[in-house]
Each structure stands twice: as C-alpha cells, then as structure tokens.
Amino acid sequence: MANHSQLGFQDASSPIMEELVEFHDHALMVALAICSLVLYLLALMLMEKLSSNTVDAQEVELIWTILPAIVLILLALPSLQILYMMDEIDEPDLTLKAIGHQWYWTYEYTDFKDLSFDSYMVPTTDLPYGHFRLLEVDHRVVIPMESPIRVIITADDVLHSWAVPTLGVKTDAIPGRLNQTSFITTRPGVFYGQCSEICGANHSYMPIVVESTPLKHFEAWSSLSSS
C-alpha cells in the first residue's frame, strides 16, 4: 500500500515486482554514473582554459562509440530477462478471468463452477470508517498465497487496463482480445490497484482489490462463494 509523500515503489509482494525494483535500482545507478561523468566534463571545460588544434582523435571516437554500446547491453540483458519472466506462464494453480466494463470489473474463476461476480467501487457515503476512499470494492478478488495465478484479461466495451502495482502487474483489457498475465503472491495481504487506461468519465472509479490468503482459507471461501 502506498504512503503519503512516498517517492519509491510500493513494497513488492511478488517475485516479478522484486525483480522490477532491483532493475530500477540498477538502471538508476547507470543513469547516475552517466550524469556524473557528463557534469564532470562540463565543469572541467568551464574551469580549465583549454585550447587545442586537434582535428582527429581516433581513440576518443572509439571510446564514445563502444562505451554507449556497453551501457545499453548492461541495461538490455536484465530487462530482457524480466520480460521473459513476465510472459512465462507454466501450469498455473488457478485461472482467473477479468472483464473490464464502464466502470466496474467482472471476475470469473474458471476452475470452479458458478463462481463469478461483479466488483464495484464502494461509494464514499457507504465506506466504513478506516477504509480507503476510491480503492475499496464490494467484492474482492481472493487468491491463494504462494500459488501461480494466471489472469486472462479482456474488456466488454472500451479499453481498460488491469493493474496492481505491488504485484508488478499491468495488462491492457481490449475488447475482442484475450491478454494474459501471471503472478505469485509471496505474502498474505490486501493489494490495491486501479484501471490504468483512460476509459471514460468514471475511469477513476473502478479500483481493483486482490486479497491473498493461505490455501485453506481460500478453499473455505471458494466453497462458500460457489454454493
């Protein structure tokens, strides 16, 4: 969950998000090194009275050609690894279908019979004390902790986007198309997200709430909900 005046990412709750945070730190250090080098050279040129009649410097040209290539490789390799991990879906324990509407979500648990529901934002006037405004829903997505989850995402009307930052998940919901993503929650908790594609007047009023629970609690919930 985000905090007031927070500058960094939310606490990671999935292996993918942990990798994304590490890659962000890695890329930030590379950018910091480049900026430091450029600022140093600018300061050197401003403070030193240098004059040169050099018209050719093969060594310098070689350096400023090879160095950017090395930097790009240092950024591309971990990035490609994370992209592969995000697209890899191997024998999920649970498959969930999320359908975007103006302006709510419909969820279907395809591994269970007759287990589906609509998820609407709880209006501020009905919000219990201590709950989060514009983030709470009347029906949460309940999933088992430490289990591979596949989410098939589509839309019924216009473009939407199913995003839960703490899980490192953001997938477009496109009418007539099925996109999919996967994740594993590493701890129990309630994780909040929102539609991340402008989809009309009430775009900001279709939040996403994922509740991660131990397997036995999920089994009890699914039995009660599907009965």
Q: What is the pTM of this model?
A: 0.83
pLDDT category, 62, cuts 50, 70, 90? Answer: confident
Question: In order of start, what are the domains of the chain with their CATH numbers?
Answer: 15-87 (1.10.287.90), 94-226 (2.60.40.420)
Tokens of 37: 């080098």
Chain-wide mean pLDDT for the chain?
89
Inter-CA distances, 193 with 9, 44, 64, 130, 136, Å: 13, 47, 43, 18, 10
Higher-scoring residue by pLDDT: 44, 118: 118
pLDDT at position 227 is: 60
Contact 104, 205 (CB under 8 A): no
pLDDT category, 151, cuts 50, 70, 90? Answer: very high
pLDDT at position 53 is: 66
pLDDT tens digits, one per residue of 175-193: 999 999 999 999 999 999 9
Average pLDDT over residues 195-199: 93
**Would you state the torsion angle of the CA atoms of residues 14, 20, 21, 26, taken in this order, to the nearest 10 degrees?**
150
Tokens of 112: 């269970």
pLDDT at position 165 is: 92
Average pLDDT over residues 134-160: 94
The 10 Å CB-count burial string (b at 16+, else e) for 54-66 is eeeeeeeeeeeee
pLDDT tens digits, one per residue of 22-51: 999 999 999 999 999 999 988 888 887 766
In this predicted structure, which of 144-148, 155-159, 222-226 has the lowest mean pLDDT? 222-226
Average pLDDT over residues 75-81: 92
Neighbours of 192 (CB within 10 A): 19
**Can you tell me the distance from the alpha carbon of 160 to that of 100, in angstroms, rounded to the nearest whole number?**
6
pLDDT at position 95 is: 93
What angle in degrees, to the nearest 10, is found between the helix axes of 15-47 and 58-87? 160
pLDDT at position 52 is: 66
pLDDT category, 63, cuts 50, 70, 90? Answer: confident
Which three-class secondary structure state does DSSP give residue 128? coil
pLDDT tens digits, one per residue of 84-110: 888 888 889 999 999 999 999 999 999
